[in-house]
Amino acid sequence: MVDSRNGRQVGRVVGLYRYPVKSMAGEPLTEVEASWHGFAGDRRWAFVRPDVVRSGFPWLTLRERGAMSHYRPSFTEAARPDTSPTVVRTPSGALLDVTEPALAAELGPDGTQVIRQSRGIFDTFPLSLVTTQTIHRLGELVGRRLEVQRFRPNLLVEAAAEEPFAEDDWIGSVLRVGGLRLRVDKRDGRCVVITIDPASTERDPAILRAVAEVRQGCLGVYGSTVEPGRVALGDPVVVEAGP
């Protein structure tokens, strides 16, 4: 760890991801602008199940359709993701606008609809972070290597300390990451989504069971923007010094 009058460096960014369509494949990035509503273009679209439109969680997700991870969204104007048309490459290779009825029909039952939310469609907070050490340790517990994609973070951080779960110690702190300042708000409560292999779509309940037994059902952390700014791979992650 590096100490200075400006704070304490606790890691560096080794992965950046956004998910233009909720539960579809993530888009790896080299740099990204973070606003009050998370990463530019992150989770701006979602598909709604017709039978639960009025519920608190109406979204069509990997829980219902594990193969959603094989659909790859992107922006036709990469420099302007929040205003750019969004297209989706389907597993068959077709390239469809996210609003095309054919895409909704392929994904879900009759009546499935797509909606856009300019503030993002987040389960809890607009930013999520996990360390490489935490994912590695969970892999040790279940006896195999785990891909970062199944945890769907925005920021993957290589912590300065070798021990796993360092991000839990940052809760309540403000992190400076490149031009972004974010507050770490709470631990990330996990669900069945992390049991789904993003490549094969096979499910391994042992992964969620291990998180429940060892980490009280939580892995990684959620955060929110304190000051918008640009983040890039390699940026130091600094816990800001207190007043």
For range 34-57, the mean pLDDT = 89
* Nearest CA-CA partner of 187 in 164, 206, 149, 215: 215
* pLDDT range class, residue 111, cuts 50, 70, 90: confident
Residue 39 contacts residue 176 (beta carbons within 8 Å): no
The domains found in the chain, sorted by start residue, are 2-239 (2.40.33.20)
CB neighbour list of residue 211: distance below 8 Å, 6 or more residues apart: 138, 190, 194, 217, 218, 219
pLDDT of residue 139: 98
* pLDDT range class, residue 70, cuts 50, 70, 90: very high
The identity of residue 220, as a single letter, is G
For range 3-14, the mean pLDDT = 83
